[in-house]
Chains A and B, each alone.
Chain A
Amino acid sequence: MTMKHKYSKKVRILGYVIIAFELLTAVTWFAAWYGNGMVLMSIQRLAFGGGSQSFGFVNSTGGKSLTVPVTGGGFFPVTVSASLLVLNSQNQTLSQVQSSVTVSPGETKNLTLTVPNSVISSSSPLSNYYLHISLEIMSLYNLVSIGAKIELNTSVFSGGSKS
């Protein structure tokens, strides 16, 4: 008959540490994704309908601005960074603007991208240009993030280009 033995305290403690570590990893990861998902949902609702606000470029002092209200959700602060590249029909970069905001859960901040007036002539609407928009939603020091880069050759915002 083979006798059974108990593992030493060291081995058992390491086992408990591993289980606790795995649980903590899973919970933190899901919590981070939940926060990122909440922010993504709020932006998606704004961009693709469902909200009362229009989403598009408006004339502001110094240029044409695109403002995205970002509302934090979940349990961790979430950083949203966006960049906008304006290209002409020859695919030459005319301007690159970047902006980022960090929102705590429940907090709302505006993320504004302004294309200077010097880049876009007043006679030409923004829809005549090519736009590359990058949006990144990050939490936990950029270790959990989702980013999207969209290339547009006309304005496809629901509110349209307001030149």
Chain B
Amino acid sequence: MNRIVKAVLWTIPPILVFVVLPSLLIGIVPTSLITQVDALLGISISAFIMSLAIFGIVLATLSALQTWAYKWSIVKPVAGALHMIASYILLLFILGFGNPITFGTANIGISPTALGGQTSGMGTINITIISTFLALLVGVAVAMKTVQKYMKYVEDKRFHKLNMETKAQQAPPPPLTPSTP
């Protein structure tokens, strides 16, 4: 398959998952419910969806770039490594409930007053979800994958050079004397 067609096809999954589907979902859900969830959790759902869309576009671009690049080109491992780093930041962003700096810790402050009068007597509820384990191990996996990509690139480059040399040797030798008309 043509490299450009392949590159275009590889942009579809991230765009679909992080741009199209969340936008469709937010379009289906009633605005009043979104406002209520915003007030309950103290975060902006629209901003969260917007951040996901940005991640989706970045991932799609990097996917296209690494599919388009030749195996022996430095662009491939660089785009691949950047793609993995962007995916990792996206994971931290989701685990941190919109805050990737917390390294897998989500702090959700729930305001029961947003639910109405059912929770009289209850003040605020803070829920902390710690997923440092996942963040740590995925980080190690990303590092190992980056190393593997670089090793593959080195081997691909060496093989490409060898292939070119073989082709050059197999080509018919140029004529010794220029042909005269």
Residues of A within 8 A of B (CB): 2-3, 5, 7-8, 10-11, 14-15, 17-18, 21-22, 25, 28-29, 32, 130, 136, 138, 140, 142-156
Q: Mark B113-147, 1 if CB is under 8 A from A, else 0.
A: 00000011111111111111110111011001101
Would you call B152 an interface residue if the criterion is a C-beta within 8 Å of the partner chain's C-beta atoms? Answer: yes
Query: Which of A17, A145, A153, A156 lies at the interface centre, i.e. has the most chain B CB atoms within 10 A of its CB?
Result: A145
Q: CB distance A140 to B144 under 8 Å?
A: no
User: Can you give 6 A-B contacts (C-beta < 8 A)?
Assistant: A5-B156, A25-B134, A143-B133, A144-B134, A153-B123, A154-B121
Chain A residues with CB under 8 A of B126: 148-150
Give the shortest distance, in Å, between A134 (CB) and chain B (any CB).
9
A21 touching B121 in the complex, CB below 8 Å, given contacts A5-B159, A148-B128: no
Give the shortest distance, in Å, between B29 (CB) and chain A (any CB).
26
Residues of B within 8 A of A (CB): 119-134, 136-138, 140-141, 144-145, 147-148, 151-152, 155-156, 159, 163
Chain B interface, >50% SS class: helix
Chain A residues with CB under 8 A of B144: 14, 17-18, 21
Per the bound structure, the CA–CA distance linking A142 and B141 in Å amounts to 21
Per the bound structure, the CA–CA distance linking A101 and B41 in Å amounts to 30
Residue of B nearest to A154 (CB): B121
Residue of A nearest to B148 (CB): A14
Q: CB distance A11 to B151 under 8 Å?
A: yes
Among B128, B129, B136, point to the contact of A143 (Cβ < 8 A).
B136
Chain A residues with CB under 8 A of B137: 21, 25, 29
Q: CB distance A145 to B148 under 8 Å?
A: no
Give the shortest distance, in Å, between B118 (CB) and chain A (any CB).
11
Chain B residues with CB under 8 A of A29: 131, 133-134, 137
Chain B residues with CB under 8 A of A153: 121-123
Chain B residues with CB under 8 A of A154: 120-121
Chain B residues with CB under 8 A of A148: 125-128
Per the bound structure, the CA–CA distance linking A20 and B121 in Å amounts to 50
Q: CB distance A151 to B123 under 8 Å?
A: yes
Chain A residues with CB under 8 A of B133: 28-29, 32, 140, 143-144
Give the shortest distance, in Å, between A132 (CB) and chain B (any CB).
8
Q: CB distance B131 to A144 under 8 Å?
A: yes
Q: CB distance A21 to B141 under 8 Å?
A: yes
Per the bound structure, the CA–CA distance linking A142 and B156 in Å amounts to 43
Q: CB distance A143 to B125 under 8 Å?
A: no
Q: CB distance A156 to B140 under 8 Å?
A: no
Per the bound structure, the CA–CA distance linking A136 and B130 in Å amounts to 10
Among A136, A151, A155, point to the contact of B124 (Cβ < 8 A).
A151
Per the bound structure, the CA–CA distance linking A7 and B159 in Å amounts to 10
A152 touching B121 in the complex, CB below 8 Å, given contacts A5-B159, A11-B152: yes
